[in-house]
Amino acid sequence: MSNGAARSNNVLVVGGGVAGMQAALDVANQGYKVYLVEKAPSIGGRMAALDKTFPTLDCSACILTPRLSEVARHPNIELLTYSEVQSVEGSLGDFTVRVLRKARYVREDRCSGCGDCARECPVEVPNEFDEFLGFRKAIYVMFPQSTPNVYTIDAEHCIRCKRCERVCERGAIDFDMQDEIVELKVGVVVLSVGYKLFDVRQYPRLGYGHHRNVITAMEFERLINAAGPTKGHLIRLSDGRMPKRIGFIQCVGARDVKKGVPNCSRVCCMYGIKNAVMAREHYPDAEVTVYYADIRAFGKGFEEFYEMAKTRFGVKFIKGRVGEIVEDPETANLQFYVEDTLSGEILDVEHDMIVLCPGLQPAEDLDKLAEMLGLETSTDGYIETRDAFAAPLETNHPGILVCGCADGPKDIPDSVTAGSAAAMKATILLSSGGAK
């Protein structure tokens, strides 16, 4: 503990996904100031890219956008998007954080999000938000409800033609902007940095990357999303036709000791079932099959949703790991052998679209972040928490808390709950006993 003068009652939340936003809101609602740092140009995290969520089939953007608004307008929350934490020094109650605010070349205080600049921009870039299935301009917003609703120039692809600057009526474009480092004083740090999806190319024989109709679950989300690259039309990438026989393959990069991912990724069974249901919704005549090892529908409403997927939506489930996926060079259809272990039959199946469901892994560079902050990680790469019962959100570094997927895979409700719990811990630390 440092001397009273140096104490800060501010909270830094690193990561603006659902967990981070919830933590920020719950801290801010208690009257404390929160800095919410997010490395992407907008908060919203993974949820912003999803189409529907399980088990309610709520439209993800619909339930998320009120949160984005709430965070953006909260008087106690300061958003630092397109920013990354560079260093954290000090101790509980007295941290000094250096944050790199990357230059967007667009003034946040002037941009109204009208989009004239993007319409003018001549440079098209594969859109990472759409899993590179669509394009965006070099000046862009991630998604229609981006928060803050400010455009960003992707310096790597911008050709400096300055047409955007000429057409912007508010003079919001500023090519002289520089990256800047800001220093924040905070009392507690909450890490909610999310996760990374397993690179399915690590199973070369599943064909992703060269079989045209083998896609990942995230690509599927973007294809069925009305705001996605195909306006919500689920089509085959090889020929744009509607798929009639879709296969979902679970556990790609989970429960596999050989690939260094022995743990279960927790959410994939449910998102796989949800996507399978969505496939049937889009094409009621399509055959949809989920190939699984175990179905882990453990949360509130999950088992009921699984049951509904089988009975009401007619999704087929086959318990078996699939063999090598072979592409027919003419039709681009896909064939593989799989054992239906429940019937004992070896099946020779053909699909015209296959969706690989990757597992979750620790966020990119989580190990570097952990090292920077002196945090212990466990063998699975996630941040170690002090005690599952007494201190489930605390790390070995007093004053630094974790929530969301930073300490292990979680679905949205569990992440949101953890965000609130982290907020509670944070404010207890800050108030250290006295009522505010």
Site for other proteins in 44-83 (CB under 8 A): 53, 55-56, 58-59, 61-67, 69, 72-73
Stretch that binds other proteins, among 120-128, 157-165, 182-190, 325-333 (CB under 8 A): 325-333
* # residues near other proteins by CB under 8 A: 96
Binder of other proteins out of 132, 179, 298, 396 (CB under 8 A): 298
CA–CA separation, 92 and 278 (whole Å): 46
Contact 92, 429 (CB under 8 A): yes
Contact letters (x/-) for other proteins, 165-204, by CB under 8 A? Answer: -------------------------------------xxx
Residues 112-141 that bind other proteins (CB under 8 A): 112-115
Instruction: By CB under 8 A, name the one of 151, 223, 302, 356 that touches other proteins.
Output: 302
Strands (E), 272-394: 287-292, 316-319, 326-327, 334-340, 345-351, 353-358, 360-362
Location of structure tokens 């991912």: 261
Classify residue 109 as exposed, middle or buried by CB count within 10 Å of its CB (0-12, 13-18, 19+).
exposed
Positions in 273-292 near other proteins (CB under 8 A): none
> Can you tell me the distance from the alpha carbon of 249 to that of 296, in angstroms, rounded to the nearest whole number?
14
Q: Which is nearer to other proteins, 26 or 219 (CB)?
A: 26
Give me the 403-422 binding string for other proteins, x by CB under 8 A, dash otherwise: ----xxx--xxx-xxxxxx-
Q: Residues 15 to 44: which contact other proteins by CB under 8 A?
A: 18, 26, 29-31
Q: What are phi and psi of 108, to 5 degrees?
A: -60, -30
* Nearer residue to other proteins within complex by CB, 29 or 96: 29
Residue 434 binds other proteins, judged by CB under 8 A: yes
Count the neighbouring beta carbons within 10 Å of the beta carbon of residue 301.
14
Instruction: Say if CB 248 and CB 353 are below 8 A apart.
Output: no
Nearer of residues 219 and 327 to other proteins, judged by Cβ: 327
Report helix, strand or coil for 318. strand
User: How far, in Å, CA of 246 to CA of 282, rounded?
Assistant: 12
Give the integer Cα–Cα distance in Å for 176 and 187.
34
Window 227-256: residues binding other proteins (CB under 8 A): 227, 231-232, 255
Closest CB to other proteins among 66 and 240?
66
CB closer to other proteins out of 64 and 121: 64
Binder to other proteins among 238, 244, 245, 299 (CB under 8 A)? 299
Q: Which stretch binds other proteins (CB under 8 A): 5-13, 76-84, 278-286, 427-435?
A: 427-435
Return the residues of window 339-398 that contact other proteins according to CB under 8 A. 341-342, 344, 380, 382, 387-390, 392-393
Helix axes 217-224, 268-282, angle to 10 degrees: 40
> Does the N-terminal peptide bond of residue 66 adopt cis geometry, omega within 30 degrees of 0?
no
Q: What is the DSSP letter of 188?
A: E
Comparison of 88 and 93: residue with beta carbon closer to other proteins? 93
Query: CB of 268: closest distance to other proteins in angstroms?
Result: 10
